[in-house]
Structure formats: structure tokens, C-alpha cells
């Protein structure tokens, strides 16, 4: 997106990145997702984590399916967000082996069986985003669910954004309620 990204509004950045995600070749998405997985799994915080909240990839996001399966094989408790629409927030829910998934609000899959874990039991939260900058500022899809969720996550929990290189921009415009991630992993 180049140096002009600083001058773009959140909606303009969203439009550009959504178009790029939509037209990104599936083989490139899979190759880059595997490279991001390799980097994530080498991180000390991830190796030491017992309970990790992933997201279920939606509309071209970095694919987390292989990450979830590998994390489970390592003995980690894997959770994914369940959207609590009436409270406009997310809750971490255990994702069992071969889980039954249902279409949640906004079309994002989530577990049909809701076995929630407490925020203080999370060691790492893997966060999607449409765009990130090098300071960890994040641009989501505009509903604020992750911002409200991340505000409640205890300070010691690792919060990690996953992104393709084209999703890293020089500057993400933020408002006071926007919450950054501690690290962004890209490939």
C-alpha cells in the first residue's frame, strides 16, 4: 500500500486489504500460512504456552487450521473465540478434536458446544486483523469485538497478530478504544 497509507482512513485501508485478500491466490495463502506457523511455533512464549486462543480463519485471513492441529498434538489446550453478540464481545471456548462448528454472528465459525475458559487461564491469544503496523497497532473488520476482548486480557498474556506481508502498512490509524497486539508475525 506504500507510504500513502498514513493518509488513508480506516475504511479505505479496509477496502484495499479486503480486495487483496479476496484476490490472493490460495496456493500463496497456504504457503505463507505455513511459513507464519513455523515462525509462531519457534517463539518461546508459544512453546511455553499451555492454553492458546486461536481464531478460525475467515475470508482469506492467515489460515490457522494447521496451527490448531499442531498445537493440539503438542498437548496445548486450544480455544477459539465465541462471539457474544448481545454483549459485543468474545469469550474463549475450548475447541475439541473434530468439533462440531456452527455459523456464528457475522458468518464466522465457532464451536457448537460452548466450554469456556477464564481469561486468566490463557497464555497466548492469536489475533486476526486486516492490517497491522510495526508497533502492533491493528485494524480489524470494524465491529470492535477484538478491541473489547483484548482490553480484558491480563497484561502478561502474549497477544500476537498474524498477517501476510501486504497487510503490514506504515501506520494504522487508531482511536482511544483500539488495542494493539504485542507482536506481529508475518511471512
DSSP H or E stretch at residue 160: strand 158-163
Q: Give the per-residue pLDDT at 5.
A: 47
**Residues across the chain:** 187
Q: Give the span between the Cα atoms of 170 and 149, in whole angstroms.
A: 25
Q: Give the per-residue pLDDT at 7.
A: 80
Q: Give the per-residue pLDDT at 6.
A: 53
Residues in the chain with pLDDT values less than 50: 3-5
Q: Give the per-residue pLDDT at 65.
A: 96
Q: Give the span between the Cα atoms of 78 and 50, in whole angstroms.
A: 9
Q: Give the span between the Cα atoms of 125 and 128, in whole angstroms.
A: 10
Q: Give the span between the Cα atoms of 59 and 7, in whole angstroms.
A: 26
Q: Give the per-residue pLDDT at 3.
A: 47
CATH topology of domain 3-186: Rossmann fold (3.40.50)
Amino acid at each position: 500500500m506504500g507510504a500513502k497509507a498514513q493518509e488513508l482512513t480506516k475504511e479505505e485501508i479496509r477496502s484495499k486489504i479486503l480486495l487483496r485478500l479476496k484476490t490472493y491466490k490460495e496456493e500463496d495463502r497456504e504457503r505463507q500460512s505455513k511459513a507464519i506457523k513455523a515462525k509462531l511455533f519457534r517463539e518461546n512464549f508459544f512453546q511455553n504456552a499451555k492454553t492458546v486462543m486461536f481464531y478460525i480463519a475467515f475470508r482469506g485471513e492467515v489460515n490457522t487450521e494447521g496451527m490448531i492441529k499442531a498445537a493440539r498434538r503438542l498437548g496445548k489446550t486450544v480455544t477459539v473465540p465465541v462471539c457474544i453478540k448481545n454483549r459485543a464481545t468474545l469469550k474463549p471456548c475450548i475447541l475439541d478434536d473434530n468439533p462440531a462448528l456452527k455459523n456464528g454472528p457475522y458468518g464466522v465459525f465457532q464451536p457448537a458446544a460452548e466450554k469456556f475458559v477464564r481469561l486468566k487461564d490463557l497464555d497466548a491469544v492469536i489475533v486476526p486483523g486486516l492490517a497491522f503496523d510495526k508497533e502492533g497497532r491493528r485494524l480489524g473488520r470494524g465491529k470492535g469485538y477484538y478491541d473489547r476482548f483484548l482490553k480484558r486480557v491480563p497484561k502478561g498474556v502474549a497477544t500476537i497478530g498474524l498477517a501476510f506481508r501486504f497487510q503490514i502498512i506504515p501506520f494504522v490509524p487508531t482511536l482511544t478504544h483500539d488495542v494493539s497486539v504485542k507482536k506481529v508475525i508475518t511471512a
